[in-house]
Amino acid sequence: MSTQTQQYDYVIIGSGFGGSVSALRLAEKGYKVLVIEKGKWFKAHDFPETNWNLRKWMWLPSLGMQGLFKLTFYRHVAVLSGVGVGGGSLVYANTLPVPKSEFFNSGHWNGLDNWEEKLQPYYATAKHMLGAERHPYMSKSDKVMQQLAANIGRPEAFDKTDVAVYFGKPGVTVKDPYFDGKGPDRTGCNLCGGCMLGCRFDAKNTLDKNYLHLAQQLGVEIISEKEVYDVVPLSADGSAGYEIHFKDSLSYFPKKGKVTAKGVIFSGGVLGTVNLLLKLKQGSLPNLSDAVGGGIRTNSESLIGVTTFDKDTSFSEGIAIGSIINIDESRHIEPVKYSEGSGFWRIFMAPMVQGSNIVSRFFKMVKDFVVHPIDNLRAFFVDDWSKRTNILLYMESIDSTLRFSRNMFGGMKSSMESGPAPTAFNPKAQELAHEVARIINGKAMVMSSETLLGIPTTAHILGGACMGTSAQDGVIDKDNKVFNYANMMVCDGSMISANPGVNPSLSITAISEYAMSKIPLKKDNPAFG
């Protein structure tokens, strides 16, 4: 991109689920669109074979790591997120669940519309576009979940997941099976378990293979390795358009550029969008709602690794998440896997204990080592951690919220807003983990940050630009339009205004589809004439 200022109808900041939907649907309506992504543009062969290849897996450019996965720590939560063209779709576990009714009738958007009914057709569209398919196999981890459901007296609660994977014939490449040949060639899933490392075999339906691919055919431009740092309105309310400033994201001495657009859509995920909006509220966009940064939610997750002592057992075969147990209306548990050899997380593992403070948890951890030395050594020094570990992802839909604000270094900090603080010590999750340990003859371990610091880990950070009736109680309206600024929207996880209790990717896609349906054709839009 040259330094010469170029004019667009819409600039979309970020290329995840919301940004990709926006790009395609706006292009279909005749708008000239630019997508700006701070991460890299990956091809299948660019992804790492294992997560020990930190340079290709992790995003930490200052240390030469230019991968697709980012780990961010805050006072109340550690966040796992994706970076690159396709955003979170590159690293998520492919699952596409529709939340229960509670999601549609709670939180900041409660009462703004009949969301469960209104969004139903857009969920259907999202499933079609993302290639949702019921998982057709039963892996070892799925069989364990089926046994767990039976052991807790809920055999009917076990179910297969709907996933964004092309199964076809393993290893066989075919012409696009989804969009009448307009999409890229696809290859049948070989069940390697490496979904969250970036699919190296073109089987995972990431956004660059559907929404973004189709958008490019309609003229959408996508530039990667550029980070937006300022959005300047050309009139007080932005009705005259905006000047979008960006810089190189991978350079110690970044070059800068700018473009202008009549409209702007923030789609950088919570960590990107909320951080940028907080900065802009102190600068170029002072009339943003004071609600920016509020209503931050997680799915109240617990991540527990249960490592088997049986040397002949492998949990790597299959897709990242192939099944789920719906414990009740608000609680779920899923088995998660990595491919063979991807045992990076083992260096963070510690015995699963509970306690009200770091001192008590430390001594309980020491006690566990003393009482069960053999089991701990066997779990720590297992030959292939990812192959021998059944990772449990427990989620529940408790509607507690955090607030993100700016810190002195220009980043974000977290504070409690309402409800109970996120916790790493969920009794139900630990009960289920112990039961799985009995089923597979293993030991349950958790991240040391959870045991020592009490900080839970989430891959589903949501909110921060929630819906409301006005700028007094929300950042955006029910059509995702930013209050007080013209032709400005938020379409990503930061718009999610209640706790879904399940993977939010399908919901982000569906809500973005709905928001885009409210934008008229360019030829019928006087603001873009």
Per-residue pLDDT of the chain (529 residues; tens, 9 = 90+): 444 578 999 999 999 999 999 999 999 999 999 999 999 999 999 999 999 999 999 999 999 999 999 999 999 999 999 999 999 999 999 999 999 999 999 999 999 999 999 999 999 999 999 999 999 999 999 999 999 999 999 999 999 999 999 999 999 999 999 999 999 999 999 999 999 999 999 999 999 999 999 999 999 999 999 999 999 999 999 999 999 999 999 998 999 999 999 999 999 999 999 999 999 999 999 999 999 999 999 988 889 999 999 999 999 999 999 999 999 888 999 999 999 999 999 998 988 888 778 888 888 888 988 998 898 888 888 999 999 999 999 998 877 899 999 998 889 999 999 888 888 788 899 999 999 999 999 999 998 888 888 888 899 999 999 999 999 999 999 999 999 999 999 999 999 999 999 999 999 999 999 999 999 999 999 989 7
Give the Cα separation of 156 and 110 in Å (integer): 31
pLDDT at 257: 96
In 3-state terms the chain splits into helix, strand, coil percentages (rounded to 5) of 30, 25, 45
* Interatomic CA distance for residues 91 and 117, integer angstroms: 30
d(CA 449, CA 63) in angstroms, rounded, equals: 22
Q: Please identify which residue in the block is written with the tokens 């006087």.
A: 526
Q: What is the 3-class SS of 123-192, one letter each residue?
A: HHHHHHHCCEEECCCCCHHHHHHHHHHHHCCCHHHEEECEEEECCCCECCEECCCCCCCCCCCEEECCCE
Q: Which CATH class is domain 6-524?
A: alpha beta
Whether the CA torsion 292, 424, 308, 501 is positive or negative: it is negative
Look at residue 3 in the predicted model and tell me its pLDDT: 43
Run of H or E residues at 244: strand 242-248
Buried/exposed code over 410-429 (b: 16+ C-beta within 10 A; e: otherwise): eebebeebeeeebbbbbeeb
For residues 437 and 417, what is the distance between their CA atoms, to the nearest angstrom? 36
Amino acid at 209: K
How far apart CA 213 and CA 222 sit, in angstroms, is 10
Q: Count of CB atoms within 10 A of residue 256's CB?
A: 12
Neighbours of 52 (CB within 10 A): 12
**Could you tell me the residue ranges of all domains in the chain?**
6-524
Give the H/E segment covering residue 232. strand 226-233
Catalytic residues: 460
Give 475's contacts (C-beta < 8 A, 6+ positions apart).
Answer: 277, 288, 289, 291, 292, 464, 465, 466, 467, 468, 482, 483, 490
Helix (H) or strand (E) holding 435: helix 427-440
Residues belonging to the chain? 529
- Contact assessment for residue 416 and residue 76, using Cβ atoms and an 8 Å cutoff: yes
pTM of the model: 0.95
